[in-house]
Amino acid sequence: MANPFIQYPPSMESMPYKIFKYCIVSIILFIPRVVFSMLTMLLIVLLFKIATIGIPSDSSLPLSPQRKIFLLPLGILVRIMLFFWGFLWIKVRGHKITNPNIAPIIVSNHTSYLDAIVLSGAYIPSAISAKENLKLPLVSSLLIATRSILIDRTDPDSRKNAKRDIKNRATLAFENQQYPQLLIFPEGTCTNGSVLIGFKPGAFAPGLPVQPVCLKYPYQYQSLSWTKDKGNTSLPGKLVRMILQFVNYCEIEYLPPYNPSEEEKKNPQLYANNVRKIMGEAMNVPITDHSYEDVRLYLTAARAGIEGATNDLVFSDLNKLFNVNIDEAQQILTRFAQMKTTKHGYLNLEEFGALFNLPPDPLVESIFNMFDAKNSGEINFKELLIGLSSLNFKENLSQQDDFIEFCFKLFDRDGSGTIGKEEFFEIMRKLFPEMDESQIQSMFYEAITGPSPKPTEEEPTEISFHNFVEFAKKNPIYIKVAQGIVKNRKPGQFEQFLDLKKKGLDNKPV
């Protein structure tokens, strides 16, 4: 499946046509379009300013009917601004519901930087925005007038507070029509419009009716999606290229309000999935379980120059199967990308061993072959992540904890409760005679500080039991390798350790 977070190349323009178009638009249309759209935007801001004169930014009351009069021209002004941006025609299907008592929440797919502007002209809704945006002169009055939900990103409870505020604001709009409807993009991020990715349940948690809205921006040469492409991905660059088109296209389809069943009210994710299904059918696009976590992985891969590494990965699927943590997945991807030979997105056996500072011995080779589902002699990031996750998943968790404790006591030769550098090096040399000093030292420091240590004034010299457990659980391949070594070289010793532990006796391995 194609990556929904990449904008794939559109149809190629012939160079003569491209030069002709840019010359004509630049000379005749570009300056008038920019000037008149800026004047329209300033008029919109002015109306919002007038409508909110004397209202404190933290007020939760709706605008009075007298103040709302100043917002009546907003729909027309937004349409005029879009006209100057090249949207000569906008195809509209369905019936827009502006009564909050019928649909207090509007949910839409999210593909473009224009989505909020298009729908603001249609509904004048409340939105969800960062609290610091109140400091922006052109935005603050809009947020105050629409009673938008402001998120304090410095507050560790911001997610919980946002869910509470969404429910409260939607309920107020539903019960008191003086409050505006609430606009939410449940995908949580922009896609290229080729699919509908997973919907987050926040918009559906209140259990109130929603009106689904489907947005499309058909194009031949210039995509309006806000996703990564090979050209200029900055917002100003995209706006300039948009204005340089002869014409741009937009389609809006208002679907009938969706009233949740009792089961959907109790299960917001089920409600979200069912709404996504009808939107996907209306847009004639497939639905996938991609999420914002996939964006994080893709951006990590893109910064490392291996964009294709996450193309066939759907993080939520792995999370359901193996309970994969997104932070750990990013750490594995970062390590994967650090291998100079992974620019093509694959690791062979030798590179796989080097990734974990392990010699390519028969035991490591057996683990590699287990990861290599296609028997190709190489593994990609998805196979690596699935393999490492399955190692943790397959083990009996209580026995895994016991084995990690066994290993810690094996390293802690003097019984001090910590593992010193000399103790660590002594055991590692015995376990992995082919491993060089620099590899052992790298593992030692990672066990103390993690894979991306912060510089400290003093060099760490000991591994605590807590850090050892964290290191082992984040690197299940070491557990697997250690189990194989103990089974071959010290048969029965782990079982003896467990037996003594059950009896409450000194169970330090020899």
Q: Are residues 68 and 44 in the same domain?
A: yes
* Domain annotation covers residue 478: yes
**End position of a domain, from candidates 374, 393, 412:** 393
CA dist., res. 496 & res. 80, Å (int): 80
Domain with 447, as residue range(s), is: 395-503
Confirm whether 1 is domain-assigned: no
Q: 196, 109 in Cβ contact below 8 A?
A: yes
* Domain assignment present for 374: yes
Q: Choose between 205 and 12: higher pLDDT.
A: 205
Together in a domain, 379 and 399: no
Query: Same structural domain for residues 345 and 431?
Result: no
d(CA 432, CA 231): 48
Confidence class for position 213, pLDDT limits 50, 70, 90:
very high
Amino acid at 484: G
Q: Specify the pLDDT at position 13.
A: 63
What is the mean predicted confidence (pLDDT) over 118-124?
Answer: 91
432 and 332 inside one domain: no
Residue 325 and residue 435 in one domain: no
Mean pLDDT taken over the chain? 83
**Domain presence at residue 274:** yes
Residue where one domain finishes, among candidates 229, 254, 288: 288
What's the pLDDT tens digit per position in 234-259?
778 888 888 988 999 999 999 999 99
Q: Are residues 338 and 368 in the same domain?
A: yes
- DSSP letters, 488-509, are HHSTTHHHHHHHHHHHT-----
Residue ending a domain, choose from 393, 413, 434: 393
Contacts of 269 (CB under 8 A, 6+ apart): 201, 204
Residue 510 resides in a domain: no
Average pLDDT over residues 35-56: 91
User: Is residue 4, in this structure, part of any structural domain at all?
Assistant: no
Residue 508 lies in a domain: no
389 and 418 housed in the same domain: no
416 & 271 share domain: no
Residue 44 has a pLDDT of: 92
Q: What is the pLDDT of residues 318-352, one digit of tens each?
A: 777 777 778 878 888 888 887 755 556 788 888 88
Q: What tokens were used for 379?
A: 């593994």
Give phi and psi for 293, each to the nearest 5: -60, -35
149 conformational bin, left if phi > 0, alpha if psi -120 to 50, beta if neither: beta
The domain total for the chain is 3
Burial (0-12, 13-18, 19+ Cβ within 10 Å), 303 = exposed
Q: 257-269: per-residue pLDDT in tens?
A: 999 999 999 999 9
Quote the pTM value: 0.76
My answer on whether 141 and 245 are in the same domain is yes
Report strand pairing: 128-130 vs 149-151.
parallel
Q: What is the pLDDT of residues 47-104, one digit of tens each?
A: 999 998 988 877 778 888 899 999 999 999 999 999 999 999 999 999 999 999 999 9
Which residue do the tokens 């593909």 mark? Answer: 111
pLDDT in tens, 384-415: 888 887 776 555 556 778 888 888 888 887 88
Start-end of H helices in 54-114: 65-68, 74-84
DSSP-derived secondary structure letter, 156: T
Check whether residue 342 and residue 410 sit in a common domain: no
The CATH number assigned to the domain holding 361 equals 1.10.238.10
Neighbours of 86 (CB within 10 A): 20
**Domain check: are 192 and 86 in the same one?**
yes
Spatial contact of 437 and 421, defined as CB atoms under 8 Å apart: no
pLDDT at 455: 46
Instruction: Verify that 317 and 345 share a domain, yes or no.
Output: yes
Diameter over CA atoms, the chain: 89
Judge whether 5 lies within some domain.
Answer: no
Element at 418 (helix H, strand E): strand 418-420
